[in-house]
Amino acid sequence: MKTAKSRGPVDTDTIAAVLKRVFAENARDHIKGYVLVVFCLLIVAGSTAFTAWIMDSIINEAFVNRRADLAFMICGAIFMAFFLRGLASYFQSVALSKIGNNIVARYQKRLYSHLMTLSVGYLSESRSAHLAAQVSQNIGGIRDVMNLTVTSVARDLLTFIALIGVMIVKDPFLSIIIVFIVPPLVLGLRYISKRLRETTREAIILGSRVLGSMQETLQGIAIVKAFTMEKPLEERVFATIDASERRSNRIARLSERTAPLTETIAGIAVSSVLAYAAYRAIYDNVPPGAFFAFVTALLLAYDPARRLARLQVSLERAVVNARMIYEILDMEPVQREKPNAVPLKIEDATVELRNVVFSYKDSGPILKGVSFVAEGGKTTALVGPSGAGKSTIINLVPRFYDPTGGEILIDGQNIADVTTRSVRLNLAYVSQQPYLFEGTIRDNIRYGRPEATDAEIEEAARLAFAHDFILAQPLGYDTQVGENGMTLSGGQRQRLSIARALVRNAPILLLDEATSALDTESEAVVQKALDTAMSGRTVIVIAHRLSTVVKADKIVVMNEGQVVEEGTHETLARQEDGLYARLNNLQATGVRGL
């Protein structure tokens, strides 16, 4: 089963395609900022060219003609040129940084929002730590593409063209020599860029794996230490780090090959110019002013020429980052709502499965024609051996996944025909492993219903038997819970999860073995909270304890993806050859089987 797919029509295979898309998405929103940047860079280019141009006058008038009055005026003009260039450089740097920071922030928000639309299946397959690391590494690629392009065109290219103009005016013949040097440089850089592209992508992927592995290790440090996994994990992470280091070294070798290439060609150009100029000064007695202006322009043109020469190499790296971000943004959720989807209308909140078939991606069938009805306002318990398909049903009702066959209906409405949001707004969910988010206890309960008042939050906590232990915390409801609630016990985290479900006040409650990971004392308290939460709601509960199963209005017994028995505890327990009776007997003798 596919969980996400790429938007095929979007072309990001070439630098030109990525540039076009990046500018289409960002240029219009920052047009004023880019106008300011380009204006400042024009000043930088003009002042740089002016500095080279004026060298002719300063040399001839000051050192040949000995005109002191003109010399001071020219020196003042040079000072003003440098002053203006400094101011323009400052303003363009600040403006470009603000634009770049805004672009990064916008894409971070866009990526976060987009990831929230993707299916649970896709996010489960894409290891979260690696995905987060990849996003953090690549998010700057969009900004770098914009900045490199704008600065290269508006500053480096214009400066280079202006200085070439000065060189042509001052000495056309020497300028022709420089022109013949450019093609070999371009060809060499194109060769380096092609080899750099794939290596950069591999390095980014390996880098994200390194960060992801470190994050996973820190999150599971208790398990790592308990099972003495330090050495195997260290060897695995070190191997990834070594591979990443090798790729990074290769990128460095490829990228820095531009330095000897450009320096060699620049050396040929400068030495040729100096040899020709020296010949003309010695044998033809030509005044040195034009020559100094030409050499100044040539030397000043070296930096923008070098940056332009490296532009394709730099763009390759930035474009690889940008392209990997677009690969995520272009993933479309398969669970797309129908164009005519309408909000779910709740009456008595009856949930019905009709011949539901489901398979996870690259797996055999998990559910094989499951049918049952969870009646409104009553509790339906799902029991059966591990792997029977119970948790899959819990995942299908909120549309974390879509069935590959059959229908799931709520009050006679197929959930595939109504808006997903309206389905989930009418559900509350308590998982086997409660998850708490960064923030306070109050914040975590309020996630159930953001508009809930403090009084409603505290009432939900009381009903979940959490109020007393919350008040015992250092700051009560305003106590920070730590990463995933690690400052709290398992029973306390579960009771906060139940309080979050209660404050939602939804008509349908899904419980996925909410007490299976707790000790006996914590389970007893949590079970009281669950009894409160279940009252008056349609409940589908995966149960392994008799306390929940005995009280259920209906028990659906599953085995190997099929419903094999239905009934109450009393009727099923009397069927001596039934699966439920066997599991019940196993639990009665101390073996958990439900």
The tens digit of pLDDT for each residue in 71-87 reads 677 778 888 888 898 89
Residues forming beta bridges with residue 510, ordered by sequence position = 429, 540
Three-state DSSP class for 340?
coil
pLDDT band at 407 (very low <50, low <70, confident <90, very high): very high
77-112 burial by CB neighbour count: b if 16+ within 10 A, else e?
Answer: ebeebeebbeebbebbeebbeebbeebbeebeeebe
Residues forming beta bridges with residue 250, ordered by sequence position = none
Longest dimension (CA), the chain: 120
Domain membership of residue 52 (yes or no) is: yes
Strands (E), 448-537: 508-512
Is pLDDT at 546 greater than 70 in this prediction? no
Last residue of a domain, one of 333, 363, 392: 333
Count the neighbouring beta carbons within 10 Å of the beta carbon of residue 322. 27
pLDDT band at 412 (very low <50, low <70, confident <90, very high): very high
For helices 128-138 and 288-329, angle between their N-to-C axes, nearest 10 degrees: 160
The tens digit of pLDDT for each residue in 41-59 reads 888 888 888 888 877 777 7
For residues 246 and 163, state if they share a domain.
yes
What's 238's DSSP letter? Answer: H
Question: CATH number of the domain that 421 lies in?
Answer: 3.40.50.300
Residue type, 152: S
For residues 110 and 123, state if they share a domain.
yes
Domain membership of residue 208 (yes or no) is: yes
Domain membership of residue 469 (yes or no) is: no
Domain that holds residue 419: 338-426+543-594
Q: What is the DSSP string of 513-524?
A: STTTTS-HHHHH
Tokens of residue 298, six digits: 């040539």
Domain membership of residue 438 (yes or no) is: no
| CA dist 88 → 12, 40, 44, 166, 503 (Å) | 34, 5, 6, 21, 57
CA distance 275 to 490: 82
Question: CATH number of the domain that 156 lies in?
Answer: 1.20.1560.10
Q: What is the DSSP string of 530-551?
A: HHHHHTTSEEEEE--SHHHHHH
Last residue of a domain, one of 333, 357, 383: 333
For residues 315 and 348, state if they share a domain.
no
For residues 403 and 422, state if they share a domain.
yes
Residues forming beta bridges with residue 358, ordered by sequence position = 367
pTM for the predicted model, two decimal places? 0.68
User: Out of 32-46, 107-121, 170-184, 552-566, which region has the weakest mean confidence (pLDDT)?
Assistant: 170-184
Tokens of residue 12, six digits: 């990001």
For residues 224 and 357, state if they share a domain.
no
| CA dist 518 → 445, 524, 530, 590 (Å) | 20, 9, 14, 16
User: Out of 9-13, 52-56, 346-350, which region has the weakest mean confidence (pLDDT)?
Assistant: 9-13
CA distance 296 to 166: 10
User: Out of 2-6, 162-166, 455-459, 482-486, which region has the weakest mean confidence (pLDDT)?
Assistant: 2-6
Q: What is the DSSP string of 251-285?
A: HHHHHHTHHHHHHHHHHHHHHHHHHHHHHHHHHS-
For residues 290 and 393, state if they share a domain.
no
For residues 393 and 245, state if they share a domain.
no
Q: Do the beta carbons of residue 478 and residue 402 sit within 8 Å?
A: no
Sheet of 405-410: strand order equals 365-374, 351-359, 405-410, 413-414
Domain membership of residue 521 (yes or no) is: no
DSSP percent split of the chain into helix, strand, coil, nearest 5 = 65, 10, 25
CA distance 510 to 501: 9
Residue type, 304: P
Last residue of a domain, one of 294, 310, 333: 333
Domain membership of residue 48 (yes or no) is: yes
For residues 125 and 206, state if they share a domain.
yes
CA distance 37 to 25: 18
Q: What is the DSSP string of 174-190?
A: HHHHHHHHHHHHHHHHH
For residues 300 and 370, state if they share a domain.
no
Q: Quick one: pLDDT at residue 351?
A: 95
The gap between the terminal CA atoms of the chain, to the nearest Å, is 29
Domain membership of residue 455 (yes or no) is: no
Is pLDDT at 39 greater than 80 in this prediction? yes
Is pLDDT at 409 greater than 90 in this prediction? yes
Q: Quick one: pLDDT at residue 507?
A: 93
Q: How many domains are there within the chain?
A: 2
Is pLDDT at 170 greater than 90 in this prediction? no
The tens digit of pLDDT for each residue in 284-293 reads 666 666 777 7
Domain membership of residue 240 (yes or no) is: yes
Is pLDDT at 12 greater than 50 in this prediction? no
For residues 323 and 348, state if they share a domain.
no
CA distance 400 to 3: 10
Q: Is 408 left (phi over 0), alpha (psi -120 to 50) or beta?
A: beta
For residues 318 and 358, state if they share a domain.
no
Tokens of residue 525, six digits: 């308290």
For residues 317 and 386, state if they share a domain.
no
